[in-house]
């Protein structure tokens, strides 16, 4: 779903641009029939790649995951076509076999490349965050499927520069992936009074956070569906004095020398999702654990645990029910790592209106076709966003300090802890999506959301490339 662009989600934007998650990911029943002529399993004697584009033949063969000496049948041919289409590199794929006199076969891989790079604007228009920028993404660097993306943004909420690189075929193996990303950003963090029923929630404290970060991740894929990854992130955090014109001027984060925040994150899960022509099917379940302690060269001590559920269900050929649920639990979270909710993560409310160390969210979206004009498709969406967020236990005096006595989180005087003081909010609404068949991401998304608790209506507009 299109969301207002912001640096907390810009790594996701780069991941989408790099990974091509929105590109066609074919199901076996959607693939064109293979003209194999196979009566049964046969041994491959030779692999022939027919690719007039820039993609290297070795890259295509690596993604196919079939070579000389392997056994192939019609079912396996369809799997190969699916693998190649799911890369997002090709417009068309045809996999076939040619019988040889000795009973073996010659495997033909015929592909037609997509345009591999894009320069696109990014525009965000939502409550408390308006602005835009520019994105450059190369999806097939040197014809070897390497990904490179760079983005710059200026907005009322955040501004920054972001760069990312992904190698999905480390040593030519599709089971290994490596990514590297860096960013410089200036983040305006607004805090509101607790409660979801406010018609027009007022900002009670405003803090400017400046940061620089670099992160690397190594991922493993087993059996094409089981995924595991380890990520190391190094960041420098610098806070400015709170806005003197807002009611609360006590610091939410100590002003002074910048602090080093490093963390190590582990993830493992199952992901069988596939997307074709804007319709997503399959299941994604994953768990994650992130730790920041001096042992990983950090000046902070905090932990995060997460469970993520995502699923897409297809109805009536082109209708799509997309579900997403997430549980996040943090311990001793500093201000810049706190969990937030509102705006893109909870439509119908102010951007990042709610804060806490424990969050449970669930989103249901129903996408359906409206009409098409040549390669441009118009699709509607109805949605419901529900969220719960709370501070489980606040420290005495309302201040969390590090081992050196620096304030890493000064809570608002009105903040309350315990799940009995949790904020529960819901937003419902409808939207419009525009897609081009040769563009991997939506060109335009607009949502109109009604906040059930507050009774307010808010509009969210994203033009260009979105981070969803």
- Tens digit of each residue's pLDDT (9 = 90 or more) over 39-71: 679 999 999 999 888 899 999 999 999 999 999
- Decide if 105 contacts 74 (C-beta within 8 A): no
Residue 439 is predicted with a pLDDT of 57
- Give the start-to-end residue ranges of the domains of the chain: 28-113, 116-464
- Decide if 347 contacts 447 (C-beta within 8 A): yes
The answer to whether the 28-113 and 116-464 domains have the same CATH topology is no
Q: Tell me: the pLDDT tens digits for 151-205?
A: 999 988 889 999 999 999 999 898 999 999 999 999 999 999 999 999 889 899 9
Residue 377 is predicted with a pLDDT of 87
1-15, 41-55, 345-359: which range is least confident on average? 1-15
Q: Quickly count: other Cβ atoms within 10 Å of residue 364's Cβ.
A: 15
Strand 105-113, strand 71-72: pairing: unpaired
Q: Tell me: the pLDDT tens digits for 218-231?
A: 999 998 899 999 99
Rounded CA gap, 399 and 252, in Å?
A: 9
Above 60 in pLDDT, residue 11? no
Above 60 in pLDDT, residue 320? yes
Q: What is the mean pLDDT of residues 122-145?
A: 83
- Look-up: residue for tokens 């501070």? 391
**Among the CATH numbers 3.40.1050.10, 3.10.20.310, 3.40.30.10, 3.90.1150.10, which is that of 28-113?**
3.10.20.310
Average pLDDT of the chain is 87
- Decide if 92 contacts 31 (C-beta within 8 A): no
Residue 15 is predicted with a pLDDT of 38
Residue 435 is predicted with a pLDDT of 81
Residue 460 CB contacts under 8 Å (≥ 6 apart), including other chains: 2, 3, 4, 125, 126, 343, 344, 347, 431, 445, 446, 447, 449
441 or 375, which is more confident? 375
Tell me how far the alpha carbon of residue 205 is from its chain's centroid: 29
Rounded CA gap, 319 and 379, in Å?
A: 9
Above 50 in pLDDT, residue 6? no
Nearest CA to 67 out of 54, 55, 58 is that of: 58
Q: What is the mean pLDDT of residues 304-331?
A: 97
Above 70 in pLDDT, residue 392? yes
Q: Is the dihedral of CA 137, 141, 143, 146 positive or negative?
A: negative
- Look-up: residue for tokens 């993404």? 137
Rounded CA gap, 199 and 203, in Å?
A: 13
**Among the CATH numbers 2.40.160.50, 1.10.3720.10, 2.120.10.70, 2.40.10.10, which is that of 116-464?**
2.40.160.50
- Residues of the chain with pLDDT > 90, as a percent, come to 67
Residue 82 is predicted with a pLDDT of 81
Above 70 in pLDDT, residue 386? yes
Burial class (CB in 10 A: 0-12, 13-18, 19+), 171: exposed
Output the six-digit token pair for 84.
């190649």
Most distant pair of Cα atoms in the chain: their distance: 85
Output the six-digit token pair for 322.
């997309």
Going by pLDDT thresholds of 50, 70 and 90, the confidence category of residue 210 is very high
Q: Tell me: the pLDDT tens digits for 416-427?
A: 999 999 999 999
Going by pLDDT thresholds of 50, 70 and 90, the confidence category of residue 37 is low
Rounded CA gap, 59 and 107, in Å?
A: 16
Above 70 in pLDDT, residue 12? no
Burial class (CB in 10 A: 0-12, 13-18, 19+), 186: middle
Above 70 in pLDDT, residue 26? no
12-16, 74-78, 366-370, 399-403: which range is least confident on average? 12-16
Residue 126 is predicted with a pLDDT of 62
Provide the whole-model pTM. 0.85
């Amino acid at each position: 779903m299109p969301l207002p662009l912001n640096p907390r989600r810009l790594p996701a934007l780069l991941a989408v641009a790099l990974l091509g998650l929105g590109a066609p990911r074919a199901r076996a029943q959607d693939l064109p029939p293979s003209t194999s002529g196979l009566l049964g399993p046969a041994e491959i004697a030779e692999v022939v790649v027919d690719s007039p584009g820039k993609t290297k033949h070795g890259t295509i063969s690596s993604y196919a995951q079939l070579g000389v000496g392997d056994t192939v049948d019609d079912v396996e041919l369809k799997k190969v076509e699916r693998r190649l289409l799911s890369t997002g590199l090709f417009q068309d794929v045809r996999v076939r076999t040619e019988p040889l006199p000795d009973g073996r076969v010659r495997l033909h891989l015929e592909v037609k490349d997509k345009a591999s790079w894009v320069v696109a604007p990014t525009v965000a228009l939502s409550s408390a965050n308006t602005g835009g920028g520019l994105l450059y993404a190369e999806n097939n660097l040197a014809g070897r499927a390497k990904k490179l993306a760079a983005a710059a943004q200026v907005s009322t909420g955040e501004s920054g520069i972001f760069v990312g690189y992904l190698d999905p075929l480390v040593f030519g193996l599709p089971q290994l992936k490596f990514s590297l990303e860096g960013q410089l950003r200036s983040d305006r963090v607004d805090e509101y009074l607790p409660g979801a029923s406010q018609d027009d929630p007022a900002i009670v404290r405003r803090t400017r956070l400046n940061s620089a970060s670099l992160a690397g991740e190594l991922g493993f894929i087993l059996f094409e569906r089981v995924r595991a990854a380890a990520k190391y992130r190094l960041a420098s955090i610098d806070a400015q004095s709170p806005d003197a014109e807002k009611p609360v001027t006590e610091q939410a984060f100590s002003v002074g020398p910048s602090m080093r925040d490093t963390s190590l994150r582990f993830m493992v899960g199952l992901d069988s999702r596939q997307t074709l022509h804007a319709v997503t099917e399959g299941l994604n379940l994953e768990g994650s654990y992130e730790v920041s302690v001096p042992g990983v060269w950090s000046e902070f001590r905090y932990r995060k645990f997460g469970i993520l559920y995502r699923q897409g269900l297809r109805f009536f050929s082109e209708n799509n029910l997309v579900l997403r649920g997430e549980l996040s639990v943090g311990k001793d979270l500093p201000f810049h790592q706190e969990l937030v909710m509102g705006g893109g993560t909870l439509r119908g409310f102010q951007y990042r209106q709610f804060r806490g160390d424990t969050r449970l969210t669930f989103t249901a979206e129903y996408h359906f076709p409206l009409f098409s004009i040549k390669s441009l498709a118009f699709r509607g969406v109805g949605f419901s966003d529900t969220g719960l967020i709370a501070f489980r236990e606040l420290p005495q005096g309302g201040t969390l300090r590090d081992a050196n006595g620096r304030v890493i989180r000064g809570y608002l005087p009105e903040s309350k802890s315990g799940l009995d003081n949790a904020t529960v909010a819901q937003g419902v609404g409808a939207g419009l999506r525009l897609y081009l068949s040769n563009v991997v991401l939506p060109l335009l998304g607009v949502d109109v959301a009604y906040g059930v608790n507050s009774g307010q209506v808010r509009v969210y507009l994203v033009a260009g490339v979105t981070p969803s």
